[in-house]
Structure formats: structure tokens, C-alpha cells
């Protein structure tokens, strides 16, 4: 199995694997085999921007990273960077150590568990990351709202059934009163009070948060600051407090404002943005995406008026360049759209996983999903920063998932992705299951 898993990496990395297999066969020629494999560390990376240098390239040590890696994971994989982010980061309240995951979990505000790695957004995350020998990336909230808690740090619900009536779904295991914000007939609840489970926040509050971190960890203790998460989806993920999608100019100004707040406290910190979710989020603002649900994409207001026909993210880059240099790392997310991001083991999904990694780099590959276009994500990102921002600005893919994380098909796909990243040379946090073992196969 390790031979298959590492074989995809051979396209770029060529580790050496030694396997010992023991097979037991019946008279009907049905065999069961158990294999134990050991993969040597990678000696060199071939081709691309790495030019045959070592792994990772000495001038690009941050190519490989993870999201929410524990100290043990960081030590085991010897990755260089660890990210804390996602939907809960948008509504994280540093003053009370609480979060709200929005649509991801019934719009509940919950206290963070000090022992749960995915609940780490503050000092504990920085400490455990540094103990693991990695560089921390933390996310600041720009949503304008943050989680609040009830008496004795109890949970609060944005769409409480006792207040807003029966709903399609509810949290039957954690907080029965927390609904999903949709009435039994499928219509959304639109008259909720945003103060039910959250409290207003602003740039000053997040600046105070960063000031506390710098005081605790030093000027170099917070090297990367991510400005929130997938802003063009707030109207879906955080509609309890932000039911209307952000206009393009609102996004541009938020990043400028919060970047200034960060630099005033920590001038050395590298600002990472815009963390957009995927293909439609690259081209249309949150307001336009919301508008398109009922009106289509042909005549979206922001694109026709505000951005003068330009794609959303390139337009943001032009606005940020005009404002100076508010971001230091250009970051996006990517999720393939043919069902790959799932646990499906159907042959057609497995084939899609294997081929769709070409979306990351191949200018001749047209994505067959609803995207229906050439993506070539890495070259596109480089072209965008070179043309619309500052040439050579670092780029990062801080979230992605091809699924199948408990299948060998997911492992071979992940191996291919890691090889592509090694060749191209950029920041790419990820972690999960069998994919963890693939990372171990190629670690230095």
C-alpha cells in the first residue's frame, strides 16, 4: 500500500520505499495480504520552480504546513507552518475564549475546549505550535460580531427554538434548543436578533487581541496574521449576524482597516488575505453571489458597477495596491467540485480525485464540473499578483480538501498534491487520516 501511496509522489519527488508483504491464500485463490513499508526521506525535488534542489527548497521553507496540527503532529511530520482558521475563527471572542461556527453547527456560541485542537485560536495555539517547531498562523475576526456565552459559560443559540419556533433541524446531541435557522417549510428565519448569541466587535478589539499576543510572545511571536475566512460566504455561514453578502468595496476596505490595525501593533507581522473559498469566490463578491441565487450571474450589481467588469479578487488586489501594501501573502482556498470532497469510494469519484489535481497547475486541463473552465490555480494566482499587485508576492493555499481521507485513493491524491506543491513552492496547510501517513512518507 505504501508503494501505491508514495508512487504518486514519484512524479516529482521519488522517495525509495521497501515493503515486506505476507499473504494468505485459500483454495479458491482468494488472498489476504498484509504489507509493512518503510519509505526513505526524499533526496530531491525534480523540475518546476524548485530546479532540482532539496526538499523543501532552502529558500522556501514554508511550502508544507497543516491546519490545527497538535504539537505531536508537528514534530512527527516536521512541517514548517501551522494554521488556525476557518469559520469559527470569524466569530472567535478572545476575551472569553469562545467561538461560533455559524451554519457549520447550528449557529451556536460555545466555550472553547482547552484540550480540543480545533478550538485553539489564541495563546494556546501559538504555544503548542512553537513547541512543535513550527510557525503559527492565526486568524483575526473581521465579521463585526463575536461569540458570547450564557451564565457559567453555557452555550447560546442564534436561532433558539423556544424563541423562534420549530425548525427543520436542531442540535439533538449538544443543545436541543439550537435550530438551524430554517422553518419547517424551508423558509429562512430573517427576524432574529443578532445579539442572542453574539456581541459586536471591531478593529480596535482585534488590535487589542494582537497587542496581548505580542506582549506574551514578543515581536516575532505572531509572524503571520490571516484576516478572517471566506468573506464572500458570510451571508451563508454567518447569516445570523451578517445576512447580506459583502460588497466588493466593503471587503477591500475591511482588509485595509484591519491591516493597519495589525501593523500598528506588530509591524513585522505578515498579513495573509483574502482567503476566498473557491472558484465563484474568486470572481464574484459575496453580494453578487447572493444576488445570483435568484437572478443568475449575467448582470450582477458589483461586477457591472463597482468592479467595472473585473473579476472580484483581481479587483481587490488593485484596490489594495492603490492603498499601499496592506497584504503580504496572497491566499486562497480550493475545493474540487465533482464530489471529491467527500468519503465516497465510488469509482467515478476516485477517478475525479486522481485527475482533478490538474486544476492546481495544468493550463490545458478544463475542469468538467460546473466550473467548466481552465483553473490552473497556481499559475493564475502568480499572474494575478504580478499583474494587479506587486510581482513576486508570496501565494498560499491555506485550505483545500480532495476527500477520501480514509482511503488509499485519497492518499494517492494527497501524495500527488504534495508533489505539485513541492515543485511549485508555496504555503499549503493540510492534515488528515491516511494523508497524515503520506506526509510522513515525504517528510525530510
Domains of the chain: 44-145+197-442 (3.20.20.80)
Q: Which bin fits 47, alpha (ψ -120 to 50), beta or left (φ > 0)? A: left
For residues 199 and 145, give the distance between their C-alpha atoms in angstroms, rounded to a whole number: 5
For residues 336 and 375, give the distance between their C-alpha atoms in angstroms, rounded to a whole number: 11
Q: Is the pLDDT of residue 183 over 50?
A: yes
The pLDDT of residue 439 is 61
For residues 79 and 66, give the distance between their C-alpha atoms in angstroms, rounded to a whole number: 7
pLDDT band at 433 (very low <50, low <70, confident <90, very high): very low
The pLDDT of residue 15 is 41
Q: Is the pLDDT of residue 336 over 90?
A: yes
352, 355, 361, 364 alpha-carbon torsion, rounded to 10°:
-110
pLDDT band at 424 (very low <50, low <70, confident <90, very high): confident
pLDDT in tens, 67-87: 999 999 999 998 899 999 999
Backbone angles phi, psi at 79, to 5 degrees: -80, 160
Mean pLDDT value across residues 163-184: 97
For residues 345 and 1, give the distance between their C-alpha atoms in angstroms, rounded to a whole number: 17
For residues 145 and 156, give the distance between their C-alpha atoms in angstroms, rounded to a whole number: 14
What residues contact 210, with CB distance under 8 A and at least 6 apart?
Answer: 140, 222, 225, 261, 262, 265, 266, 269
Mean pLDDT value across residues 279-291: 98
Q: Count CB-CB contacts under 10 A for residue 17.
A: 17
Mean pLDDT value across residues 395-423: 92
Q: Which bin fits 244, alpha (ψ -120 to 50), beta or left (φ > 0)? A: beta
Place of cell 471529491: 340
Q: What is the mean pLDDT of the chain?
A: 88
Least confident residue range of 155-164, 197-206, 420-429, 435-444: 435-444
Q: Is the pLDDT of residue 34 over 80?
A: no
Mean pLDDT value across residues 167-179: 97
More confident residue, 36 or 46: 36
Local structure of residue 249 (DSSP, 8 states): H
pLDDT in tens, 338-382: 999 999 999 999 999 999 999 999 999 999 999 999 999 999 999
More confident residue, 39 or 88: 88
Least confident residue range of 25-39, 137-151, 190-204, 403-417: 25-39
Mean pLDDT value across residues 1-16: 31
Mean pLDDT value across residues 162-179: 97
For 345-383, give one letter per residue: b (16+ CB within 10 A) or e: eeeebbebbbbbbbbbbbeebebebebeebbbbbebbbe
pLDDT band at 11 (very low <50, low <70, confident <90, very high): very low
Q: For the residues of 166-208, what is the DSSP string, one character each? A: --S-EETTTEEEEE-SB-TTSPBP----GGGTEEE--HHHHHH
pLDDT band at 435 (very low <50, low <70, confident <90, very high): low
pLDDT in tens, 41-69: 332 222 333 443 344 555 566 788 899 99
Best CA proximity match to 132, nearest among 77, 93, 185: 77
Q: Which three cell numbers stand for residue 288?
A: 453578487
State the DSSP H helix or E strand holding residue 230, giving kind and residue range, or none if neither.
Answer: none
Amino acid at each position: 500500500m505504501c508503494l501505491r501511496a508514495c508512487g504518486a509522489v514519484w512524479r516529482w519527488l521519488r522517495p525509495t520505499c521497501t515493503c515486506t508483504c505476507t499473504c494468505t491464500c485459500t483454495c479458491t485463490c482468494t488472498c489476504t495480504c498484509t504489507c509493512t513499508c518503510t519509505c526513505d526521506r526524499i533526496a530531491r525535488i525534480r523540475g518546476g520552480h524548485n530546479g532540482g534542489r532539496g526538499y523543501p527548497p532552502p529558500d522556501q521553507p514554508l511550502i508544507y504546513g497543516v491546519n490545527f496540527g497538535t504539537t505531536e503532529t508537528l514534530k512527527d511530520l516536521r512541517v514548517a507552518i501551522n494554521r488556525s482558521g476557518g469559520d469559527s475563527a470569524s466569530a472567535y471572542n478572545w476575551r472569553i475564549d469562545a467561538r461560533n461556527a455559524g451554519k457549520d453547527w447550528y449557529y451556536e456560541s460555545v466555550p472553547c475546549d482547552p484540550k480540543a485542537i480545533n478550538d485553539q485560536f489564541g495563546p494556546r495555539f501559538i504555544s503548542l505550535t512553537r513547541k512543535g517547531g513550527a510557525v503559527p498562523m492565526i486568524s483575526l475576526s473581521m465579521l463585526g460580531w463575536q461569540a458570547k456565552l450564557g451564565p457559567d459559560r453555557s452555550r447560546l443559540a442564534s436561532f433558539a427554538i423556544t424563541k423562534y419556533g420549530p425548525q427543520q433541524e436542531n442540535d439533538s446531541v449538544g443543545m436541543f434548543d439550537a435550530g438551524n435557522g430554517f422553518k419547517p417549510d424551508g423558509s429562512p428565519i430573517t427576524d432574529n436578533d443578532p445579539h442572542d448569541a453574539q456581541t459586536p466587535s471591531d478593529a480596535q478589539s482585534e488590535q487589542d487581541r494582537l497587542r496581548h499576543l505580542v506582549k506574551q510572545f514578543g515581536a516575532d511571536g505572531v509572524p503571520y496574521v490571516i484576516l478572517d475566512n471566506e468573506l464572500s460566504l458570510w451571508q451563508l455561514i454567518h447569516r445570523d449576524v451578517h445576512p447580506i453578502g459583502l460588497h466588493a468595496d466593503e471587503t477591500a476596505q475591511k482588509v485595509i482597516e484591519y491591516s493597519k490595525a495589525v501593523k500598528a501593533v506588530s509591524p513585522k507581522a505578515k498579513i495573509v488575505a483574502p482567503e476566498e473559498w473557491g472558484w465563484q469566490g474568486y470572481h464574484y463578491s459575496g453580494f453578487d453571489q447572493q444576488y445570483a441565487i435568484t437572478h443568475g450571474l449575467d448582470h450582477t450589481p458589483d461586477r457591472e458597477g463597482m468592479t467595472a467588469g473585473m473579476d472580484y479578487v483581481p479587483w481587490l488586489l488593485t484596490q489594495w495596491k492603490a492603498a499601499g501594501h496592506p497584504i503580504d501573502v496572497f491566499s486562497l482556498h480550493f475545493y474540487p467540485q465533482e464530489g471529491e470532497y467527500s468519503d465516497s469510494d465510488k469509482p467515478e469519484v476516485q477517478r475525479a480525485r486522481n485527475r482533478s489535481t490538474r486544476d492546481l497547475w495544468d493550463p490545458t486541463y478544463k475542469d468538467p464540473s460546473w466550473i467548466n473552465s481552465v483553473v490552473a490555480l497556481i499559475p493564475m494566482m502568480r499572474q494575478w499578483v504580478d499583474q494587479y499587485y506587486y510581482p513576486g508576492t508570496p501565494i498560499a493555499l491555506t485550505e483545500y480538501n480532495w476527500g477520501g481521507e480514509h482511503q488509499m485513493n485519497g492518499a494517492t491524491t494527497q501524495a500527488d498534491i504534495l508533489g505539485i506543491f513541492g515543485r511549485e513552492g508555496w504555503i499549503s496547510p493540510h492534515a488528515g487520516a491516511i494523508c497524515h501517513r503520506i506526509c510522513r512518507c515525504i517528510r525530510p
